[in-house]
Structure 1
Amino acid sequence: MKFNKLIPELSVKDIQKSKKFYLDVLGFQVEYERLEDLFAFISLNGAQIMIEQYNGHWQTDELTYPYGRGINFQIEVENIEVLLQSVKEHNVPLFRDLMTNSYSGFKQKEFIIQDPDGYLLRFCQSY
């Protein structure tokens, strides 16, 4: 497996809940996990994220919901409509509805949701 140059590691409250969300709702797959550490390395179409149940190892201050305030993760997908349908079928509220944006000569469809810990996930498809 090739590792990206930047791989965010997200502290989560409940690793099982987060894994269910990322795998069942969003279609990520587990690349590897350390069950004893409540850690999973997951990927979707080349996007890579590590999730680990909060353990205080990376604590810089009190961790309160929503986690990751001030950041959103853009994840490019192959079919945004299929993903959006899955999100809706699982009753995940949209933080920002599907929209089209233009950036320096290309267009992108995107929507934003929050994961169970409040991290903002911006899914996009360029065309």
Structure 2
Amino acid sequence: MLTLSPSQRVYLACGSTDLRKSIDGLAALVQEGFGLDPFSPCPFVFCNRERNKLKILYWEHNGFWLFYRRLERGTFQWPSDKERTFNVSSRELRWLLDGLALRQQQAHSKVTAETVI
């Protein structure tokens, strides 16, 4: 089970990715294609063209995790932005995995409390 802290960065690879790639291919894509460090403690999430499969590449301590999710019905609301990667919060990743849009209109916005009194 992938457990993320609320402050942890999550990177989505916008558009579609060939999910026949395994750990080495996805790590090379992160490093060469996106200019990011695949050994950073950040999950990198990839989606196929049909938007019904996801892979999450994640480095932990001394090895990579590769999580795979296939939907039997429906699709993920995957961003097709022109940017190569898209940074989201762990909360937004949970929304995406649950089939919701990244930008929830009805979600409570984050409040940064300054004082109690």
More contact order relative to length (CA 8 Å, sep ≥ 6): 2
Q: Which has the higher strand share?
A: 1
Question: What TM-score does the superposition give when structure 1 sets the normalisation length?
Answer: 0.28
